[in-house]
Structure 1
Amino acid sequence: MEHGEILARLEATIAERRLGDPSASYVAKLNAKGLAKIAQKVGEEGTETVIAALAGDRKELVGEAADLIFHLMVLLSAKDVPFAEVLAELARREGTSGIAEKASRSN
């Protein structure tokens, strides 16, 4: 199974459940709580990912990274930003030095 296919299916599922019944869908529940709650979850999952990485537990790191990506996709959906835009930005940056790319954003 293609990785992009998994992300596309996940994005479609998130979009489908976004306005669903909060008692039946975690995505709907997060959206019902608002953008600040979704952003908080992204922050929490980011922190948990860092902790897992520093602890050296590969399985935990993979799980937390998956949680982080999921919650990031929920946040992007809440802001009506297709994941394809993020991928396009990564493609735009490909082959550019990180230092040069960051400097170009500060101009």
Structure 2
Amino acid sequence: MTLDELERIVATRAAASPEESWTAKLLAKGPEKTAEKFGEEAIEAVIEAVKGDRQRLASEAADVLFHLLVMLRARDVTLAEVMAVLEARQDRSGLQEKAARNR
């Protein structure tokens, strides 16, 4: 599965009834709730990374990716927009990028 495919799945589930779709139910609670859920999943991934449990980390990372796309959808930000930012950053090193953001 690609992130583009996952974004389409999120879009399909978002269009469903909140009674039938966890994604639609979460989105109905607003962008703040989707951000909170993303944060929870990110913390769970960090915990598994520290523990060193590869299978649990993979599972939590999948949750992070899914909930990132839900959060982006809640704010009408597309994966293409995010990828364009990443593409634009490819011309400079990570250290240069960080320095430019901290000006």
Structure 2: unaligned runs, 5 residues or longer: none
Which letter maps to 1:67? D
Report the equivalent of 1:86. 82
- Mapped partners of 1:102, 1:16: distance in 2: 36
Higher relative contact order (CA 8 A, sep 6+): 2
TM-score of the two chains, using structure 2 as the length reference: 0.91
1:60-79 paired onto structure 2 within 5 Å: 60-79=56-75
1:57 matched to 2:17: no
Report the equivalent of 1:40. 36
Percentage identity across aligned positions? 50
- Could you tell me which of 16, 21, 24 is aligned with 2:20? 24
The alignment of Structure 1 onto Structure 2 pairs a total of residues equal to 103
Shifted more, 68-77 versus 14-23: the winner is 14-23
- Mapped partners of 2:92, 2:58: distance in 1: 27
- Mapped partners of 1:47, 1:56: distance in 2: 14
Which letter maps to 1:87? M
